Amino acid sequence: MRNLHLLVVSVGGALGVVGLLTWSASAQVPAGSTPADDKINPPVSNCNTIPDTDRKTPATATPITEDLLTSGQPCQQNVSPTGLVTSGPGPGMANLQRGFDFYSWLTFIAMNSPADGKVIGHGPRPGGDARTKWEDLQNYRPLADVMLSNGDRPIWGTRNVPDLCKPHDGPGKMIFQLGEEAFNQPFKTGPLIDQDGNYALFDILMNQPMFDFIVDKGLYSRQGQRQVDGDIQFPSGNSPGKDKDGKDIQGHMGAIMLKVSYRILDPVKNANLLSQFHTSDALIYFPGPPATKTGPACVEKKLGLVGFHVGHKTKFAPQWVWTSFEHVSNAPDAADVASGNLLPRYNFFSAACKTNCPVKNDTPPQPPPWDPDESLKFKGEYRSQVIREKLIPGFVLKEVADLNTPFRALLKGTVWENYMLLATQWPSDNGSHTDPLGAPAPTYLANTTLETYSQGKIPLASSSCMACHGNATTHHVPATPSDFTFILEKAQEAKKAQ
Amino acid sequence: MTDLTRRKMLGVAAAGAVTSLSTSVEAAAPGAPATPPAPNPLPNENDLRLFVALSSVLTGIAVLKMAPTVDPIQVRFDYFNAASADPGFPALLQIIRNDPNPESAANKVMNDPKLKYLGRSIILAWYLGVWYDPKTLERYNGPGDQAFPVPPVKVISPTAYTQGWTWRVAQAHPMGYSELRYGYWHNEPLPLDEYIKIVS
């Protein structure tokens, strides 16, 4: 039996700290990318590398000014354990968290900027709204365009319009294909019903490096996944810099996946709300059984963005970096409910309900199936009564609130001032072998529209981006990890030889 | 007098942990991590640091592993709060406040006829994530059958349930929770050095 004398810092832990310490330095760039990498993950000339502070001692916060609105999208985080926080328990973690949260705001601004290249908030619609970069099919593709129903090879740039939607189609219309993941929350925990009795809807999208990797490896069909040996490793984003020999390294964006949530807005009844939401005119397609209980059908709805959740694989974050935004009027915090400090209106909470209210954060009382019909109205009087539970450490809550204030002020007068960062989850020990989840920080993070029913602090059961996505697998036999994405599980059997 | 070297303490703690392993989880399971503990006020930063330094000597686990520089888990707060609920804690705190040398302070704690049971509870907390009431440990501190049945225990918190050092020493994980990747059960456990680095 081994004689243990002293347990000291593990190799993984030490590497994790070293990785963190070097994140802000030139050592953050990877070794030279190969031509094959560049085909799937092409060089990016305009990575946003702005850090949250000037990196001096003492540090000064980067001014949150209009320059940031056109500064581009970060290809990776630019963070440091030294910064504004110099005392108290865990200043290193607090500074890193702020760096990641700053990265998240830059990402939010870049992805939600108009697809036509204008500045965010300067679009033609109420509140300066416009079709965003992620809604442009040249930049992102919805899951339904990638995991095709017959396991076919998807083609980038092809807009798939179901026949039933063609009569309603027009410029700027978004095709939204309904399936269970579009109305049911993760692990089939139930639908979210807004205060008008409509289903909240969810969609998943990915950028071109992620799409091209899936196509290149044949991961768009179950047969293709079964033929892949070894680990699935989606391409990583990195900022430009120098390698250890001083050679220039180009930036790459890496794989990005996006999950968005919407509430339905009635153009008449909710006319006063339209300037408060980013909206999309959607053609919602019900493919019919087995994907939907009813259909085939195509209905037109105006959707208001209520949740925005980004996963970005980057160097030194092989567990991906997880950004989560929400509309500010989705639900009150538990503390707000306790103090009575409530807004007049919420999307998923009734402040007026005093007696016989639905149980907070509970699924509808009716047993499943919960599939909507073409009205997208929930049958009965049930409305979700959602409260945002306190899952995040107090110092993170304060830091995020302090960061949200100037960024929202920067976007004042536009629809985008109504969105707030919840937090960013990042791997605090990215190289650990014993904890391949990378010791997520913060440990728990939940978006009230996307993880409504798993808010809490119970290991494995409560919402944690990395802990949840770390369980995702492929259709390989036996199943293999799918590199933190559930997208591959949506692949179908190919109907013909691949 | 108790000889409180790291070697001896770790041996005692590890033996205690291993012998308790098969029973503590079973005993804890019915009331196990149902709800997180009610939030406690943040402990005094210096007291927390002294508590971790003492814990390090008692368990043989390095301070940096108990309280990493970047630590999103922060289980030390749970253990501090569990220990501070014991009536003997002010006396223990006074010892570690007065003695700047953690090894010497730990010797004083473990040679105190009453506080030594609190010291043992702290060791067991770090290894098992479970709180044994020091009074119970004292009562069961006899030879033979007096040590059975298993004394009542309480899982300190949902976080503590997953963070017991026993699991790492055993290259294992608690029931129902593992950070390892899908299919890990198909492979040999990672080498012990991946969990802990051994200094002889």
Contact call for A459 and B71, based on CB within 8 A: no
Contact call for B200 and A5, based on CB within 8 A: yes
Has residue B200 been placed in a domain?
Answer: no
B13 in A contact zone (CB under 8 Å): no
Look-up of token digits 């593709």: A141
Contact call for A4 and B14, based on CB within 8 A: yes
Please count the residue pairs, one from chain A and one from chain B, whose beta carbons lie less than 8 angstroms apart. 136
Contact call for A8 and B179, based on CB within 8 A: no
Pairwise CA distance, residues B26 & A295, whole Å: 51
Q: Minimal Cα distance from B11: which residue of A?
A: A4
Has residue B104 been placed in a domain?
Answer: yes
Pairwise CA distance, residues B194 & B183, whole Å: 18
- Chain B closest-CA separation from residue A441 CA (Å): 5
The ipTM assigned to this model is 0.83
Instruction: Indicate the residue of A5, A9, A478 with minimum beta-carbon distance to B65.
Output: A9
Instruction: Indicate the residue of A9, A435, A479 with minimum beta-carbon distance to B197.
Output: A9
B169 in A contact zone (CB under 8 Å): yes
Q: How many CB atoms lie within 10 A of CB A245?
A: 7
Instruction: Indicate the residue of B68, B70, B182 with minimum beta-carbon distance to A96.
Output: B70
Contact call for B198 and A96, based on CB within 8 A: no
Contact call for A81 and B69, based on CB within 8 A: yes
B38 in A contact zone (CB under 8 Å): no
Q: What are the backbone dihedrals phi and psi of residue A460, each rounded to the nearest 5 degrees, phi first?
A: 75, -35
Has residue B37 been placed in a domain?
Answer: yes
Pairwise CA distance, residues B114 & B152, whole Å: 19
Q: Which of A7, A10, A425 to mutate to test the interface with B (most CBs of B within 10 A)?
A: A7
| Chain A contact set for B74 (CB, 8 A) | 90, 393
- Chain B closest-CA separation from residue A195 CA (Å): 30
Contact call for A478 and B180, based on CB within 8 A: no
Question: What's the distance, CA A316 to chain centroid?
Answer: 19
Q: What is the domain range of residue B139? A: 6-195
| Chain A contact set for B192 (CB, 8 A) | 2
Sequential pLDDT tens for chain A (498 residues): 333 333 332 223 333 333 443 343 333 334 445 556 899 999 999 999 999 999 999 999 999 999 999 999 999 999 999 999 998 768 999 999 999 999 999 999 999 999 999 999 999 999 999 999 999 999 999 999 999 989 999 999 888 899 999 999 999 999 999 999 999 999 899 999 999 999 999 999 999 999 999 999 999 999 999 999 889 999 999 999 998 899 999 999 999 999 999 999 999 999 999 999 999 999 999 999 998 999 999 999 999 999 999 999 999 999 999 999 999 999 999 999 999 999 999 999 999 998 889 999 999 988 899 999 999 999 989 999 999 999 999 999 999 999 999 999 999 999 999 999 999 999 999 999 999 999 999 999 999 999 999 999 998 889 999 999 999 999 999 999 999 999 999 999 998 654
| Chain B contact set for A96 (CB, 8 A) | 70
B80 in A contact zone (CB under 8 Å): no
A279: left (phi over 0), alpha (psi -120 to 50) or beta: beta
Task: Please say whether the beta carbons of B159 and A440 come within 8 A.
Answer: no
SS (H, E, C) chain A: CCCCCCEECCHHHHHHHHHHHHCCCHHHCCCCCCHHHHHHCCEECCCCCCCCECCCCCCCECCCCHHHHHCCCCCCCCCCCCCCCCCCCCHHHHHHHHHHHHHHHHHHHHHCCECCCCCCCCCCEHHHECCEHHHCCCCEEEHHHCCCCCCCCCCCCCCCCCHHHHHHCCCCCEEEECCHHHHCCHHHCCCCECCCCEECEEEEEEEHHHHHHHHHCCCCEHHHHHCCCCCCCCCCEECCEECCCCCEECEECCCEEEEEEEEEECCCCCHHHHHHCCEEEEEEEECCCCCCCCCCEEEEEEEEEEEEEEEEEECCEEEEEEEEEEECCCCCEHHHHHHCCCCCCCCCCCCCCCCCCCCCCCCCCCCCCCCCCCCCECCCCCCCCCCECCCCCHHHHHHHHHHHHHHHHHCCCCHHHHEEEEEEEEECCCCCCCCCCCCEECCCCCCCCCCHHHCCCCCCCCCCHHHHHCCCECCCCCCCECCCCCHHHHCECCCCCC
The count of C-alpha atoms lying within 13 angstroms of the C-alpha of A64, restricted to the half-sphere facing its C-beta, is 17
Has residue B1 been placed in a domain?
Answer: no
Whether the bond into A287 is cis, omega within 30 of 0: no
The pTM for the full model equals 0.89
| Chain A contact set for B165 (CB, 8 A) | 7
Contact call for A7 and B181, based on CB within 8 A: no
Contact call for B162 and A459, based on CB within 8 A: yes
A279-286 and A174-177: which strand pairing? parallel
Tell me how many domains chain B contains. Answer: 1
Contact call for A5 and B45, based on CB within 8 A: no
pLDDT by residue (tens digit) across B63-96?
988 998 899 999 999 999 999 999 999 999 999 9
Pairwise CA distance, residues A429 & B71, whole Å: 9
